[in-house]
Structure 1
Amino acid sequence: MSAIEYVRGLFGNEDQLLLDVRQSIVDREMPAISVSPEVGRYLTQLVKTNGAKKVLEIGALGGYSGICLARGLAEGGTLTSLELEAEYAELAHENMKKAGFGEQVDYRLGEALTSLEKLGEEGAKFDVFFIDADKVNYINYYNWALKLANPGALIVGDNVLQGGRVFDPENNDESTLAIRAFNETIATDDRVDSMLLPIGDGLSVTRVK
């Protein structure tokens, strides 16, 4: 048994709602790349611990991570979700409604960087950010999160181990290089405190000072 399997065995239990969300993604023939069960559970915990009322996710897919984030929101809290594909956002919203969070989520369709620029123009601020989209733009999403962050905000990135490719010196594909650069940036940026956790496919947690 691996460490990941051990952790998942203890902390990766999914309720029927989340299992149904996974199945809905398969049924629509969408990529089955939702966060792992233990990462989803930790997202809820992070949002609760932060006392977050405003959460932003980049990458909605079928709504699995959105539900996990929304479950941790403080009373009256809201989730803003950026999604490139209208079909994904539609399914995500259906699943969020089933989870009881349909009125608490705002979907912004289109390129995430365009949506982030618009949020900046609106003066939006957030307490927690969850980045789980195209890897080549993780640095750009991180920089925007810093601009939109309330003091003490958390910036969380998924898939930061890339299945082990980030520490394979012979692997230099575009996504791997981008995630290496992202990891090195958050590790050395004196504006934040960061840690990389080896759960799921790697989860980075960064606190804005």
Structure 2
Amino acid sequence: MKERTSVFAGTIESYIDDELVYRPHPLFLEMEAFAKEKFIPIVTAATGAVLKSLFKSWQVNKIWELGTGIGYSTLWIALGSPNSEIITVDRNENQASILDRYALEILGEKKIPIRRISSWILDYMYANVSEWVDADVFFIDCDKVTYPELWDLISHHAKPGARILYDNVLWHGRLMDPTFQKPSDLAVRSLWDRVKKSGFEYTLFPVGDGILLAEKR
């Protein structure tokens, strides 16, 4: 995982992850090391812990994760919501399949149902609305340029009360600097514009690179 610009002062984000976050299984550390070695972006450990806590408080039936990575966030969510069905979508089958081994070792005999789908996320979501329309929670951590379109699609079709979570909504501090004009920068700003105009209740968790939680009315 390449070095990223943090929204936190100095090296405090690294200190939080290294010293202050409890891992419910030691293999999370192995996954973090693997991601760093292979330059694969994953949520921070602190973000994972917040996700676990949120899902533990909700105890929902069906969760859709858009962007599997190596399954690091998937497993934090699964530990927080052990009775939920989890569907996770990612176009990179080789990378996403790493989840399978770690799920077996970390979740053990809990056998939390996790279904992986290998597909381009937007293509799949458009083509299979009936599969996900009844989901209770969506966790979105994929290509940032798709963020606004995924918001439009999910917020329109999801059932009332559905929760929509986005990672990287602070975008390493680039969000507040208008000189950053890459497509990903514009997309994250556009997502925020949509959320603020939606009328949905929403909350920012300023952990890691920022988690946005919105609830559909």
TM-score (norm 1): 0.87
1:178 deviation in Å? Answer: 0.4
1:39 aligns with 2:47: yes
> Where in structure 2 are there 5+ consecutive unaligned residues?
1-7
Q: In structure 2, which of residues 203, 210, 213 is the aligned counterpart of residue 202 of structure 1? A: 210
The equivalent residue for 1:82 is: 89
1:124 deviation in Å? Answer: 4.3
1:141 deviation in Å? Answer: 1.6
CA, structure 1 residues 103+49, in 2 after alignment: closer, same or farther (shift >3 Å)?
closer
Question: Is the 8 Å Cα contact of residues 135 and 162 (structure 2) preserved in structure 1?
Answer: yes
1:25 aligns with 2:35: yes
Question: Is the 8 Å Cα contact of residues 63 and 136 (structure 2) preserved in structure 1?
Answer: yes
Distance 1:10 1:19 in 2: 12
Question: Is the 8 Å Cα contact of residues 11 and 41 (structure 1) preserved in structure 2?
Answer: no
SS at match of 1:71: helix
1:73 deviation in Å? Answer: 1.5
Distance 1:187 1:168 in 2: 19
> Where in structure 1 are there 5+ consecutive unaligned residues?
none
1:58 aligns with 2:58: no
SS at match of 1:52: coil
Name the structure with the higher strand share: 1
Distance 1:4 1:187 in 2: 27
Alignment of 1:1-209 (within 5 A): 2=9, 4=13, 8=17, 12-14=21-23, 15-26=25-36, 29=38, 31-73=39-81, 75=83, 77-100=84-107, 104-122=113-131, 124-190=133-199, 192-209=200-217
CA, structure 1 residues 111+102, in 2 after alignment: closer, same or farther (shift >3 Å)?
farther
Distance 2:124 2:117 in 1: 7
The equivalent residue for 2:4 is: none
SS at match of 1:157: strand
Q: CA offsets, 1:143-196, max 9 Å, x none?
A: 232245333221111111111101002111110010001012112211x21122
Question: Is the 8 Å Cα contact of residues 81 and 105 (structure 1) preserved in structure 2?
Answer: yes
SS at match of 1:43: helix
Q: Which has the higher contact order (CA 8 A, sep 6+)?
A: 2
Question: Is the 8 Å Cα contact of residues 187 and 195 (structure 1) preserved in structure 2?
Answer: no
SS at match of 2:162: strand
Q: CA offsets, 1:78-120, max 9 Å, x none?
A: 1100001011121122222222266511111111012212431
Q: Percent identity?
A: 25
Distance 1:141 1:71 in 2: 26
Distance 2:13 2:31 in 1: 22
SS at match of 1:164: helix
Distance 1:40 1:154 in 2: 17
CA, structure 1 residues 25+6, in 2 after alignment: closer, same or farther (shift >3 Å)?
closer
Distance 1:111 1:163 in 2: 25
